[in-house]
């Protein structure tokens, strides 16, 4: 019985509360809540002649990359450089045991001395025989023999001089010198290693001249055909204005020039190798470095540009939100061209000066009222389109 009265009291209280809330709601006028306009970044579409670049993955090579090889056989007795350091032309890099080569020089020097002594003897003999033959005191045969001996002695002297010269050259090869100014690489041998003229032990180290560098990259057959159809002025401009994008995304301050294109399309890869030369006054570029070669292939005249973030793509349609004088949004269907930095070229649907909303992820619909906030172009876009 007590439970029944409790339930009834609870129902009465709920009904009273509902009546009070209904009375309060009916006592007020119906009011519409108006939200303030959403702040939206707005930029103006600009018009400019836009350079269109093409980027290609490239690799850096030294102006000269030379393998330093052993030209004699023997044990390495000295390594006279610090790996990775700069060396001057003629700097001593390695010393190879020269005992056997010095011995050969001494032997050939002795042979030359003996040959010269024989030459002196045969010359004296010829000088003695020649007048006696003229007096018929000796036969013509004696003169012929003396002349032949003298000629043979002369030939032997020349042969001994050549052998001695060759022995001295080989002795000089035991001192390995830098062929030019450059950066020396990691040494492939250490003191005590045996080196030879051929095989894997012949390459001692590598030296690269990096006062200037060579950049090599490949272009596809399609890209080659497109470039080949450019005008001579466009090709000349592209050759002389090669840029480099470094691995950190920065632009290398020096411009390069195309040096050559390979004679053929590589049948294995379907690409053509291009080489460009770049100055490297500060030594920033090192052989083996991967970069991007940027070529100016054409210029898009009077291009209308907007930030990429202002363009929405829905399947095959591209659209932007423009801002009217009354600060309301309007949808414009546009046609897009190439991307340039952080900007997009609009080929149809916008004109210079149109105010374009950069909405991002905001959920706004056409005819929405906004508060326009003037926005500067992103840095990347400014670099791409220049100052307007």
Q: Beta strand pairing status for 182-184 and 92-96?
A: unpaired
CATH architecture, range 99-173: Orthogonal Bundle (1.10)
Supply the pLDDT for residue 199. Answer: 76
Whether the predicted pLDDT of 6 surpasses 50: no
Which of 259, 257, 273 shows the shortest CA–CA distance to 217?
273
| pLDDT value of position 35 | 63
pLDDT at residue 298 in the model: 80
Question: What pLDDT score was predicted for residue 34?
Answer: 61
pLDDT recorded at residue 114? 95
Say what angle helices 99-134 and 140-173 make with each other, to 10 degrees: 160
Over 80: is that where the pLDDT of 16 sits? Answer: no
Domain 40-50+300-385 of CATH type 3.40.50.300: no
Q: What is the pLDDT of residue 387?
A: 39
Average pLDDT of the segment spanning 69-79: 94
- The confidence band for 362, taking pLDDT boundaries of 50, 70 and 90, is low
With CA atoms as reference, report the closest residue to 142 among 124, 130, 156: 130
Pairwise pLDDT comparison (28 vs 265), residue with the higher score: 265
Region 32-36: what's the mean pLDDT? 62
- Interval 240-273: pLDDT, tens: 989 999 999 999 999 999 999 999 999 999 999 9
Parallel, antiparallel or unpaired: strands 38-44 and 370-374: parallel
Give the Cα separation of 388 and 384 in Å (integer).
Answer: 11
- Domain residue extents for the chain: 40-50+300-385, 54-62+214-298, 64-91+181-207, 99-173
Task: Check residues 383 and 122 and name the one with the higher pLDDT.
Answer: 122
Reported as a pLDDT band with limits 50, 70 and 90, residue 36 is: confident
Query: Between 22 and 156, where is the model more confident?
Result: 156
Residue 354's pLDDT is what? 87
Question: Tens digits of per-residue pLDDT, 152-185?
Answer: 999 999 999 999 999 999 999 999 999 999 999 9
Residues 74, 131: Cα–Cα separation, whole Å: 55
pLDDT at residue 363 tops 60? yes
The DSSP code for 325 is T
Instruction: Return the H-helix or E-strand segment holding 21.
Output: helix 2-27
State residue 176's pLDDT score: 96
- pLDDT of 32 reads 55
Which pLDDT does position 51 carry in this prediction?
Answer: 85
The DSSP result for 118-140, as a single string, is HHHHHHHHHHHHHHHHHTTSS-H
| Lowest mean pLDDT segment, chosen from 41-55, 88-102, 253-267 | 41-55
- Which tens digit of pLDDT belongs to each residue from 184-225? 999 999 999 999 988 777 899 999 999 999 999 999 999 999
Least confident of 18-32, 150-164, 199-213, 284-298: 18-32
The reported pLDDT for the residue numbered 18 is 47
Domains 40-50+300-385 and 54-62+214-298 share a fold: no
Q: What is the pLDDT of residues 302-355, one digit of tens each?
A: 888 888 888 888 878 888 888 888 888 888 888 888 888 788 888 888 888 888
**Residue the block writes with tokens 């906030």:** 373
What three-state secondary structure class fits 355? strand
Please check the confidence at residue 281 and state whether its pLDDT lies above 80. yes
114 near 159, Cβ under 8 Å? no
CATH of 54-62+214-298, one of 2.30.110.10, 3.20.20.80, 2.40.30.170, 2.120.10.30: 2.40.30.170
**Residue 212: its pLDDT value, please?**
93
Task: Please give the residue that has the higher pLDDT: either 313 or 371.
Answer: 313
8 Å CB contact between 311 and 336: yes
Angstrom distances, CA of residue 45 to CA of 4, 123, 311:
76, 100, 12
Res 19: pLDDT: 46
Q: Global pTM?
A: 0.67
Per-residue model confidence (pLDDT) at position 5: 37
Q: What is the predicted pLDDT for the residue at 134? A: 85
User: Tell me, what's the pLDDT at 7?
Assistant: 42
How many contiguous H segments (helices) and E segments (strands) does the chain have? 6, 19
């Amino acid at each position: 019985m007590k439970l029944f009265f409790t339930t009834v009291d609870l129902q009465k209280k709920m009904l009273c509360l509902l009546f009070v809330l209904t009375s309060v709601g009916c006592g007020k006028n119906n009011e519409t809540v108006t939200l303030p306009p959403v702040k939206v970044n707005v930029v103006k579409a600009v018009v400019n002649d836009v350079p269109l670049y093409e980027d290609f993955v490239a690799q850096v090579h030294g102006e000269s990359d030379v393998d330093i090889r052993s030209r004699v056989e023997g044990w390495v007795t000295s390594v006279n450089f610090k790996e990775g350091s700069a060396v001057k032309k003629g700097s001593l890099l390695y010393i190879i045991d020269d005992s056997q080569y010095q011995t050969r020089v001494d032997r050939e020097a002795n042979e030359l001395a003996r040959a010269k002594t024989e030459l002196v003897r045969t010359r004296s003999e010829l000088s003695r025989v020649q007048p006696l033959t003229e007096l018929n005191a000796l036969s013509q045969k004696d003169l012929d023999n003396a002349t032949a001996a003298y000629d043979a002695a002369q030939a032997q002297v020349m042969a001994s001089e050549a052998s001695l010269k060759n022995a001295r050259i080989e002795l000089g090869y035991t001192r390995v010198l830098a062929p030019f100014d450059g950066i020396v690489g990691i040494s492939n041998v250490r003191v005590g290693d045996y080196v030879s003229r051929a095989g894997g032990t012949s390459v001692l180290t590598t030296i690269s001249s990096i006062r200037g560098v060579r950049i090599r990259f490949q272009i596809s057959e399609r890209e080659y055909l497109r470039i080949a159809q450019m005008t001579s002025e466009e090709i000349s401009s592209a050759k002389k204005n090669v840029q480099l994008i470094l691995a950190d995304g920065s632009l290398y301050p020096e411009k390069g020039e195309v040096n050559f294109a390979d004679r053929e399309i590589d049948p294995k890869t379907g690409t053509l190798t291009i080489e460009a030369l770049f100055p490297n006054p500060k030594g920033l570029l090192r052989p083996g470095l991967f970069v991007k070669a940027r070529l100016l292939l054409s210029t898009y005249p009077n291009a209308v540009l907007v930030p990429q973030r202002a363009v929405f793509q829905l399947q095959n349609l591209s659209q932007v939100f423009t801002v009217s004088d009354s600060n309301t949004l309007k949808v414009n269907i546009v046609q897009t061209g190439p991307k340039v930095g952080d900007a997009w070229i609009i080929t149809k649907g916008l004109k210079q000066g149109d105010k374009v909303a950069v909405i991002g992820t905001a959920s706004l619909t056409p005819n929405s009222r906004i508060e326009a906030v003037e926005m500067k172009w992103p840095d990347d876009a400014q670099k791409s389109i220049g100052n307007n």
